[in-house]
Amino acid sequence: MAEMVANRITDIGPPKYDEMWPEIIKNNYGKWLHHEILEPGVLVHVAESGDKLYTVRCGATRLMTTHMVEDYCKIADEFCGGYFRFTTRNNVEFMVTSTEKLEGLKKALAAAGNMPIGGTGHSVTNIVHTQGWVHCHTPAIDASGPVKSVMDALFDYFTSMKLPAQVRIALACCLNMCGAVHCSDIAILGVHRKPPVIEHSHLDKMCEIPTTIASCPTAAIKPSKVDDFKSVAVNADRCMYCGNCYTMCPAMPLADADGDGIAIMVGGKVSNSKCMPKFSKLAIPYIPNEPPRWESTVKAITTILEAYVSGAKRYERIGEWIERIGWERFFDVTGFEFTKRHIDDYRFAATTWRTSTQFKW
Amino acid sequence: MPTVTFKGKTYEVDEDGFLQDPESWDEDFAYYVKEEEGISELTDEHWKVIRYLQEYYKKNGIAPMVRIMTKVTGYKLKQIYELFPSGPGKGACKMAGLAKPTGCV
C-alpha cells in the first residue's frame, strides 16, 4: 500500500467555523439584541455594544461554476472584507457594517444581474432541490430545470414580502426525497408510473437478490428462476413504482419518458411555531414531465400560491391554512381534482381517513 | 463492457473495476486488484477476509454487514482498512469478486 497510504492526511474534519467569521461577528458572538428586516433581502442585527450588522441575501442557483463563486468573492472583497456565507437554502449572504457600504453593495449586486436580492420574511425564498438529470441515476424528473421555471414564475414573491407567511418550496427528483419535500409548504416530487424492467440475464451477477427483495416496501418482489437464470419476479399488482429495488439492483431500471412525472404535495413545515411540525400531503398525484419549462407544474404551484394568498390569515403557513378551512375546501378553491390516488392505502392508512361526521359540502 | 487483461487472462469489469460475473473470479484477479489498490503484498490476513467474503456470499447471496465481517474474522474495522486501504466495500469486496455495493453509498 506504498504510495496510496504514504503521506495521507485523514480525519481532520472541516475547518473550525469561527475561522471565517467577519470581525464584527467575532466581537458580538452571543450578544445580539434584536434584528429587523429593512426591506426584502436586507437585514440589520444590532448588538449589545451598539454594533450594527447589515446582511444582504441573494438568490443563488446552488449548481454553480467556479467563475460564479469567483464573482461572489470579488463582491465580498470589495465590500465585506472578503467574507460571505451560504444559507441553509443555498442563498448567498453578504455582510457589511455601515449604511454607505450597504448602498454600494446593493448597487453592485444589482449591476451583476445574476444576484437578485430577496428571500427574507414572508416571501418565497430559494427552492431546496436535488441532482435530477444532471448527476443522479434514479431520478424521475429533472431538478435544476423545474426549479428555474418555478422561480421565474414566482420571482415577484422572492423580491417582496407580501405573503401571509413564508412559503418553503422544495423539489426532489425521486421519492428518496433527498432534501425537504416531506416537510415543505409546497413540494415537487418526481414519481414513476411503471414497474421496473427486469434484466434477467445478468441480474444475479450484478445484484444481491436478498437485498433487492428486502428493499420492496410492499413485498412485490420474490426470487424466481427465468430461463435458467437466477433472478426475481415482480408482482405488478403490488408494485407502486417507488424504485427502491433499482437503487439496490442496477438490473431493474424503471425510468420511463412517458410514465415519469411530478407529484405536488402541500402543507408541510418544520418549525414549532403555533402548531407542531407537519408532513406535506398529496395535492396532485401526477403532472407530466414537460421539459424545458414544465408549464403545467408552474401553473399548479401558482394556483396553490394564489389561493393561499387570498384565503389565509396573517402568519398562517399553507398547512395551517388548509387545516383551518378543511381539505375538501382546499380542493374547492384550487380546483384540483380529488381522486382515489389521494386516499392513503399504506399500512397505517386508517389513521388518515375521516372518522367523524364533520364535513363541509 | 470494458475488460482488463492481467497475467494473460482477460476479465470483464465495470467502470469501477468490479468483476461483472462473480463466477469468473480466480486468484489472479485478486492480484490484479492488489496492483490497482496499491497493496504491497497479499498476506494470509488478506486471504482470510477474501475467503470469508466469498463463503458468506455463496451461502447467503449478499455481502456480510461490516459488523458480521469484523466479528467472524476477528479484525476490527481499523485493521480491515490497514489491509484494504479503500475499505471493506471498494477494496475487499472488489478483490473477492463480489457484486459492486449499491444504494446511497
If asked whether residues A60 and A185 sit together in one domain, one would say: no
CB contact under 8 A, A1 and B103: no
| Tens-digit pLDDT profile for residues A150-208 | 999 999 999 999 999 999 999 999 999 999 999 999 999 999 999 999 999 999 999 99
Residue for cell digits 458580538?
Answer: A28
If asked whether residues A14 and A64 sit together in one domain, one would say: yes
Shortest distance between the Cα of B29 and any Cα of chain A, in A, equals 16
If asked whether residues A325 and A178 sit together in one domain, one would say: yes
CATH number at residue B51: 1.10.10.370
Taking the alpha carbons at both ends of chain A, their separation in whole angstroms is 73
Task: State the Cα–Cα distance between residues A62 and A40, nearest whole angstrom.
Answer: 20
- Indicate whether B35 belongs to any domain: yes
Q: How far is CA A244 from CA A65, A178, A188, A233, in A?
A: 32, 14, 19, 15
Q: With pLDDT > 70 as the criterion, what percentage of chain A qualifies? A: 99
Q: What is the DSSP string of chain B?
A: --EEEETTEEEEB-TTS-BS-GGG--HHHHHHHHHHHT-S---HHHHHHHHHHHHHHHHHSSPPPHHHHHHHH---HHHHHHHSTTHIIIIIIHHHTPPPP-S--
Task: Give the start-end residues of each E strand in A149-274.
Answer: 169-172, 186-191, 221-226, 229-234, 261-266
Q: Which of A67, A69, A32, A27 is nearest to A47 (CA)?
A: A32
- Indicate whether A28 belongs to any domain: yes
Task: Give residue ranges of A with CB < 8 Å to any B CB.
Answer: 1-5, 176, 202, 205-211, 247-250
CB contact under 8 A, B100 and A202: no
- Indicate whether A24 belongs to any domain: yes
pLDDT category of residue B1 using cuts at 50, 70 and 90: confident
ipTM score for this prediction: 0.92
If asked whether residues A161 and A293 sit together in one domain, one would say: yes
If asked whether residues A19 and A159 sit together in one domain, one would say: no
- Indicate whether A81 belongs to any domain: yes
CATH number at residue A74: 3.30.70.3340
SS3 A148: helix
Interface membership of B79 toward A (CB under 8 Å) = no
CB contact under 8 A, A211 and B37: no
Question: Chain B residues with CB inside 8 Å of A208's CB?
Answer: 61-63, 99, 102
As a residue count, chain B comes to 105
Report whether A183 contacts A191 (CB < 8 A).
Answer: no
Least CA distance to B37: which residue of chain A?
A1
If asked whether residues A223 and A169 sit together in one domain, one would say: no
Residue A1 pLDDT exceeds 70:
no
Q: Is the overall model pTM greater than 0.80, yes or no?
A: yes
- Indicate whether B105 belongs to any domain: no
State the catalytic residues of B: 104
CB contact under 8 A, B99 and A176: no
Provide the number of structural domains found in chain A: 3
Interface membership of B100 toward A (CB under 8 Å) = yes
| Tens-digit pLDDT profile for residues A228-252 | 999 999 999 999 999 999 999 999 9
If asked whether residues A161 and A207 sit together in one domain, one would say: no
- Indicate whether A124 belongs to any domain: no
**Residue-level pLDDT at A3:** 62
Q: Please give the average per-residue pLDDT across B49-60, as a whole number.
A: 97
Q: Which of A97, A91, A177 is nearest to A138 (CA)?
A: A177
- Indicate whether B103 belongs to any domain: no
Q: Which of A63, A54, A57 is nearest to A86 (CA)?
A: A57
Q: Please give the average per-residue pLDDT across A334-347, as a whole number.
A: 96
Range of the domain at A276: 143-189+261-351
- Indicate whether B101 belongs to any domain: no
Report whether B95 contacts B34 (CB < 8 A).
Answer: yes
Q: With pLDDT > 90 as the criterion, what percentage of chain A qualifies? A: 97
Q: Work out the burial of residue A173: count CB atoms within 10 Å of its CB; fewer than 13 is exposed, 13-18 middle, 19 or more buried.
A: buried
Query: pLDDT averaged over chain A?
Result: 96
If asked whether residues A83 and A5 sit together in one domain, one would say: yes
Range of the domain at B21: 3-96
- Indicate whether B37 belongs to any domain: yes
If asked whether residues A89 and A66 sit together in one domain, one would say: yes
CB contact under 8 A, B102 and A176: no
If asked whether residues A165 and A272 sit together in one domain, one would say: yes
Residue for cell digits 414573491?
Answer: A157
CATH number at residue A240: 3.30.70.20
**CB crowding A208-231: b at 16 or more within 10 Å, else e:** bbebbbebbeeebbeeeeeeeeeb
A-interface mutation test, from B13, B43, B102, most A Cβ less than 10 A away: B102
If asked whether residues A184 and A210 sit together in one domain, one would say: no
Neighbours of A129 (CB within 10 A): 28
Residue B38 pLDDT exceeds 90:
no
CB contact under 8 A, B99 and A4: no
Which of A5, A202, A211 is nearest residue B62 as measured by Cβ atoms?
A211
Provide the number of structural domains found in chain B: 1
Shortest distance between the Cα of B43 and any Cα of chain A, in A, equals 12
Q: Which of A30, A65, A70, A22 is nearest to A48 (CA)?
A: A30
